[in-house]
């Protein structure tokens, strides 16, 4: 049964598309395919990029056997989901909610007819899946957020969102790895850096990871921030 | 190590190697030269490996001072180049003496020139690459364009490495008006009405003012979506034409984000990305659909010309 299709994107990329929906099992197949292709180290392949429901394979057309690559991708994509997880432990992310660090917490509480404490409880209750990493280095699209607090993004995006800001946009949640413009509703901030090129492992979250937020107070935020600054190269 | 002193940075002069491949699954853009063929040609001319970092010069060029004697070459866009006040050649290697002054003057054709220096530019690699990505402040000179007062460290110039003779015919033609770019349909041509590919080829597109290393906003025949302009975000290849709700395509270039949420009607073939990389605001593009065979033949011809040059070093 073919529940996927392989489409070329120009002469240097193939895209494997699974079912067009945002769903953990569809996403698991995309990530499984991407990891299999990365592990296979097919000559000429430059990059393999899993997203919500697809995988892009970038290759050098002059150094790749196109037919062999297509056959390989087709065979791997046809494999059923193995249901095994990534084998990586859940990433635990401390967040100082509300106040200056989470300027939209009150708005999300009003939207959901909950207290701020209840919004925090709802946001920390679930273990989220990292469906994909994109937008900027280390930005993981996490889901699925509880419907009650799933407030749409702001009508007018902020010009600058500080590093570590934790926001929601509908049923998605995420952490801003660098200062960028952004329209997500900001609930709080983590002292961890989602992306730090000077760290031994530059990326906090990879596609397929489980992510769990937990609440910390402002003193703890400052403590962890100071420690993690010490942990990276000056 | 010896280096180059930046007297004036120019409009947008960045350090680029062949790009930061292998990290797009973590959201890291590739960057790299907008015109990869001119970049490679410049390196070949001075006897560098093709992966050496060069300076990509955009529209208004820099003024530089060399601390030591070096073989250099400038390829890509046509600028009037002055070495210590005298005209210097384009597209061939030449020697600059220690303490000499290189200035990019009037630009005549094309948008981006590449300055290769024997030994290459030697800034630290970030995730395996020296390429500058300004938006994520990564690579190159502290992740930003060059500016007055910078000092760029150079690699060791290996005097035994042969330079290459300039090609008898240009490896890349600078864009004509309009620039002709060949595309292959997809990856989401079926997200558009049946006549959209015809519309794409029906008249030239203007490269809009909001065009940069991330992508070119194009103005021309409207491309109509079959079922809305939003898709579940997926990967965004180099040279792809993504189409937001306006129906006006955006051609994604070297600094593009790794993912995007708009349908993509067609993709410029690899061999034509060098021409695309020479375009800037106000230029025009005529798109045409080609066959896979034509795309491959064009790429092989380009590769052959570059290989002849690289192998035939004197």
Q: What is the pLDDT of residues B79-110, one digit of tens each?
A: 999 999 999 999 999 999 999 999 999 999 99
> Nearest-CA residue of chain B relative to A15?
B187
What three-state secondary structure class fits B183?
A: strand
More confident: B80 or A86: B80
Do residues B278 and B181 make contact, with C-beta atoms less than 8 angstroms apart?
A: no
A196-223 pLDDT per residue, tens: 998 999 999 999 999 999 999 999 999 9
Q: What are phi and psi for residue A188, nearest 5 degrees?
A: 180, -165
CA distance B179 to B275: 7
Q: Which of B26, B232, B292 is opposite residue A22, by nearest beta carbon? A: B232
Q: Please report the residues numbered 37 through 76 in chain A whose beta carbons come closer than 8 angstroms to any beta carbon of chain B.
A: 38, 46-56, 58, 61-62
Nearest to B127 by CA among A198, A50, A204, A132: A198
Do residues A176 and A164 make contact, with C-beta atoms less than 8 angstroms apart?
A: yes
Instruction: Give one DSSP letter per residue of B139-163, joined into a string.
Output: STBTTB---TT-EEEB----TTSPP
The strand order across the sheet containing A13-17 reads: A5-8, A13-17, A54-59, A45-50
Q: Inter-chain contact A9–B267, Cβ cutoff 8 Å?
A: yes
pLDDT (0 to 100) of residue A33: 97
Residues A49-73 have a mean pLDDT of 96
Chain A positions in Cβ-Cβ contact with residue B241 (cut-off 8 Å): none
pLDDT (0 to 100) of residue A232: 47
Residue in the structure block whose two tokens are 């699954």: B25
* E strand intervals along A66-125: 91-97
Residue A225: which H helix or E strand, with range? Answer: helix A218-231
Q: Which of A8, A56, A137 is opposite residue B27, by nearest beta carbon? A: A137
What is each CA distance from B120 to B52, B65, B74, B112, B310, in whole angstroms? 5, 15, 13, 18, 16
Instruction: Give one DSSP letter per residue of A3-54, joined into a string.
Output: --EEEE-TTSEEEEE--SS--HHHHHHHHHHHHHHHHHT-TTEEEEEE-SSE
Residue B22, chain A, CB below 8 Å: the answer is yes
Residue B38: which H helix or E strand, with range? Answer: helix B36-46
- Confidence (pTM): 0.95
What is each CA distance from A127 to A189, A213, B65, in whole angstroms? 18, 8, 56
DSSP code of residue A149: G
Partners of B208 in beta bridges = none
Q: Inter-chain contact A21–B232, Cβ cutoff 8 Å?
A: yes
Binned at pLDDT 50, 70 and 90, residue B233 comes out as very high
pLDDT (0 to 100) of residue A84: 66
Q: Which of B138, B259, B269 is opposite residue A11, by nearest beta carbon? A: B269
Proportion of chain A above pLDDT 90, given as a percent: 87
Chain A positions in Cβ-Cβ contact with residue B240 (cut-off 8 Å): 9-10
Lowest average pLDDT, out of A1-5, A25-29, A63-67, B187-191, goes to: A1-5
pLDDT (0 to 100) of residue B313: 64
Q: Inter-chain contact B27–A136, Cβ cutoff 8 Å?
A: yes
Binned at pLDDT 50, 70 and 90, residue A234 comes out as very low
Which alpha helices (DSSP H) does B57-181 contain, by range?
A: none
**Is the confidence at residue A231, as pLDDT, over 70?**
no
pLDDT (0 to 100) of residue B7: 98
Q: Inter-chain contact B259–A197, Cβ cutoff 8 Å?
A: no
pLDDT (0 to 100) of residue A88: 85
Residues A114-136 have a mean pLDDT of 97
Quote the tokens at residue B293. Answer: 């065979």
Residues B165-194 have a mean pLDDT of 91
pLDDT (0 to 100) of residue A74: 96
pLDDT (0 to 100) of residue A87: 78
B235-277 pLDDT per residue, tens: 999 999 999 999 999 999 999 999 999 999 999 999 999 999 9
pLDDT (0 to 100) of residue A233: 42
**Is the confidence at residue B2, as pLDDT, over 50?**
yes
Nearest to B217 by CA among B289, B134, B274, B282: B282
With both helix axes pointing from N to C terminus, report the angle between A105-112 and A116-125 in degrees, rounded to the nearest 10.
90
Quote the tokens at residue B122. Answer: 């030697």
Q: Please report the residues numbered 174 through 203 in chain B whose beta carbons come closer than 8 angstroms to any beta carbon of chain A.
A: 183-184, 186-188
Binned at pLDDT 50, 70 and 90, residue B220 comes out as very high
Chain A positions in Cβ-Cβ contact with residue B21 (cut-off 8 Å): 46-47, 58
Residues B270-288 have a mean pLDDT of 97
Q: Which of A20, A21, A134 is opposite residue B27, by nearest beta carbon? A: A134
A179-199 pLDDT per residue, tens: 999 999 999 999 999 999 989
With both helix axes pointing from N to C terminus, report the angle between A66-78 and A24-40 in degrees, rounded to the nearest 10.
140
Q: Which of B138, B188, B292 is opposite residue A11, by nearest beta carbon? A: B292
What is each CA distance from A97 to A229, B244, B285, in whole angstroms? 21, 35, 50
Residue in the structure block whose two tokens are 């070329």: A8
Residue in the structure block whose two tokens are 């000499």: B100
ipTM of the complex: 0.95
Average pLDDT value for chain A: 93
Residue B292, chain A, CB below 8 Å: the answer is yes
CA distance B259 to B269: 19
Q: Inter-chain contact B237–A58, Cβ cutoff 8 Å?
A: yes
pLDDT (0 to 100) of residue B166: 82
pLDDT (0 to 100) of residue A83: 64
Residue A34, chain B, CB below 8 Å: the answer is yes
B21-76 pLDDT per residue, tens: 999 999 999 999 999 999 999 999 999 999 999 999 999 999 999 999 999 999 99
How close, in Å, is residue B89 to chain A by CA atoms?
A: 32
Quote the tokens at residue A217. Answer: 């107070």
Chain A positions in Cβ-Cβ contact with residue B239 (cut-off 8 Å): 10
Nearest to A190 by CA among A159, A171, A212, A172: A212
């Amino acid at each position: 049964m073919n529940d996927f299709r392989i489409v070329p994107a120009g002469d240097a990329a193939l895209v494997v598309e699974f079912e067009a929906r945002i769903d953990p099992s569809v996403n698991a197949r995309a990530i499984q395919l991407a990891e299999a292709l990365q592990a296979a180290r097919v000559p000429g392949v430059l990059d393999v990029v899993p997203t919500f429901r697809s995988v892009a394979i970038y290759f050098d057309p002059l150094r790749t056997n196109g037919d062999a690559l297509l056959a390989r991708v087709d065979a791997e994509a046809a494999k059923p989901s193995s249901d095994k997880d990534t084998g990586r432990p859940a990433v635990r992310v401390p967040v100082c909610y509300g106040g200056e660090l989470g300027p939209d917490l009150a708005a999300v509480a009003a939207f959901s007819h909950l207290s701020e404490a209840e919004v925090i409880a709802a946001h920390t209750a679930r273990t989220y899946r990292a469906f994909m990493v994109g937008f900027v280095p280390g930005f993981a699209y996490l889901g699925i957020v509880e419907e009650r607090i799933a407030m749409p993004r702001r009508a007018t995006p902020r010009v600058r969102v500080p590093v570590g800001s934790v926001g929601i946009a509908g049923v998605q949640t995420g952490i801003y790895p660098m200062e960028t413009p952004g329209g997500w509703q900001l609930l709080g901030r983590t002292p961890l850096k989602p992306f730090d090129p000077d760290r031994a492992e530059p990326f906090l979250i990879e596609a397929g990871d489980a992510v769990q937020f937990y609440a910390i107070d402002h003193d703890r935020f400052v403590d962890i921030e100071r420690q993690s600054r010490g942990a990276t190269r000056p | 190590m010896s280096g180059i002193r930046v007297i004036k940075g120019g409009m947008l002069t960045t350090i680029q190697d062949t790009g930061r491949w292998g990290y797009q699954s973590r959201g890291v853009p590739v960057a790299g030269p907008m015109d990869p063929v001119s970049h490679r040609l410049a390196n070949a001319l001075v006897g560098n490996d093709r992966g050496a970092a060069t300076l990509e010069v955009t529209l208004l060029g820099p003024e530089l001072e060399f601390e030591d004697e070096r073989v250099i070459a400038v390829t890509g866009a046509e600028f009037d180049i002055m070495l210590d006040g005298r005209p210097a050649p384009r597209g061939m290697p030449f020697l600059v003496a220690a303490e000499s002054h290189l200035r990019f003057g009037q630009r005549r054709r094309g948008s981006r020139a590449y300055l290769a220096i024997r030994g290459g530019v030697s800034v630290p690699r970030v995730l395996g690459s020296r390429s500058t990505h300004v938006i994520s402040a990564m690579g190159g000179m502290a992740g930003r364009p060059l500016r007055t007062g910078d000092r760029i460290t150079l690699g060791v110039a290996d005097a035994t490495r042969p330079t290459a003779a300039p090609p008898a015919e240009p490896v890349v033609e600078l864009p004509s008006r309009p620039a002709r770019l060949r595309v292959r349909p997809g990856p989401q041509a079926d997200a558009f009405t049946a006549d959209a590919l015809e519309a794409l080829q029906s008249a030239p597109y203007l490269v809009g003012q909001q065009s940069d290393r991330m992508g070119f906003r194009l103005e021309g025949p409207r491309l109509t979506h079959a079922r809305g302009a939003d898709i579940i975000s997926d990967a965004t290849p180099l040279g792809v034409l993504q189409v937001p709700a306006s129906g006006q395509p955006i051609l994604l270039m070297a600094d593009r984000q790794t993912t995007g949420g708009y349908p993509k009607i067609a993709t410029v073939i690899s061999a034509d990305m060098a021409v695309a990389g020479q375009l800037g605001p106000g230029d025009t593009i005529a798109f045409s659909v080609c066959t896979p065979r034509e795309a491959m033949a064009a790429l092989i011809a380009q590769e052959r010309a570059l290989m002849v040059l690289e192998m035939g070093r004197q």
